[in-house]
Amino acid sequence: RVHLKTLTIRGFKSFASATTFEFEPGVTAVVGPNGSGKSNVVDALAWVMGEQGAKQLRGGKMEDVIFAGTTARAPLGRAHVALTIDNSDNALPIEYSEVTISRTLFRTGGSEYSINGNACRLLDIQELLSDSGLGREMHVIVGQGQLDRVLHATPEERRGFIEEASGILKHRRRREKAVRK
């Protein structure tokens, strides 16, 4: 089983300053008043794991994940999230007992991704996670109001969940990429 160890957020949504969450084995609960940033933590998790849909991240465009500023603090030029995963039982197909993936988006438009400090492509992160049970689809991250969507999924949507869970989506993404070329 993969186990999330730490999540570090800087310049992502309401987290202007670097903030690190440490996850102990077992269930983690995030509590706080309305609007305090609980869902933003979940968005950061989805984002670093490869989420590409602005709507899934509750924004209009991807740039909306970058700290937009408050009356007390100027907007930032980049959002950065890093996630460290315990891989001591080799659930991820990589020869490290600990894996850190990171994603940075610049307001000027560029993106950077890394696996254990080495620059990589978004696809590399998606592929690394795709057979692990972690992934971008909502069977892993079920947001507010989304439970309803799972319960009322169309057969087509249900097929998407099953494909992701079984690792087929990785191959479809590869094929779509090849076809686009």
Q: What angle do CA 51, 30, 104 make, to 5 degrees?
A: 30
- Please choose, out of 39-47, 53-61, 93-101, 167-175, the segment that lies near Mg ion by the rule CB under 5 A: 39-47
Q: How many Cβ atoms sit within 10 Å of the Cβ of residue 148?
A: 10
- Please choose, out of 27-35, 47-55, 122-130, 170-178, the segment that lies near ligand ATP by the rule CB under 6 A: 27-35
> What x/- string results for residues 101 through 140 when contact with ligand ATP is judged by CB under 6 A?
----------------------------------------
Instruction: For the chain, count helices (H), then strands (E).
Output: 5, 6
Is residue 68 close enough to count as binding ligand ATP by CB under 6 A? yes
Which listed option, Mg ion, ligand ATP, none, makes contact with residue 37 (CB within 5 to 8 Å by class)? ligand ATP
Interface positions, 115-154, toward Mg ion (CB under 5 A): none
* CA distances (Å), origin 176, targets 81, 104, 181: 27, 25, 9
Is residue 39 close enough to count as binding Mg ion by CB under 5 A? yes
- Rounded distance, CA 67 to CA 127, Å? 28
Nearest Cα neighbor of 66 from 56, 54, 49 is 54
- Residues lying near ligand ATP in the complex (CB under 6 A): 13-14, 32, 34-40, 64, 66-68
